[in-house]
Amino acid sequence: MNKRILFQGIEKTKHMEEHCNKQLAKVEHLLEHERTPVFIDLRLEPSKVHAHHFVELRVKTPTVEKISTYEGPEFYEVVDHVIDVMYRELCEWKHKETEHRRNIGRHNEVKKQR
């Protein structure tokens, strides 16, 4: 799994990196059984002019590519929001994929029930 945290326009701090890694652990756990390569890119871009910090999270695997972005006044809340949205989207995708796998080969059974 290739994980990258990119700090744009901000100095990399140990506390911010630990917070991001702690939050990204949920996404990593969800993707640990996916086919490789798995790429996770988190881009942190604070605003110097006004209090609207931008955070973007990209997750790319051989079967799915998702992007989550958010902009807001509190930097840590923006990071948490972006990662939580991505986690929910990946959970929904994983649920749909498992449902699809279960239904393969059952087409004739479904037809008989109608």
For the chain, the structural domain boundaries read 2-113
Rounded to two decimals, the pTM is: 0.82
Provide CATH code, domain 2-113.
3.30.160.100
Share of the chain above pLDDT 70, in %: 89
pLDDT, one tens digit per residue, over 7-50 is 998 888 899 999 999 999 999 999 988 888 999 999 999 887 77
- Tokens 């790429």 label which residue? 39
Separation between Cα atoms, residue 81 and residue 76, nearest integer Å: 9
Positive or negative torsion for Cα 83, 88, 94, 100: negative
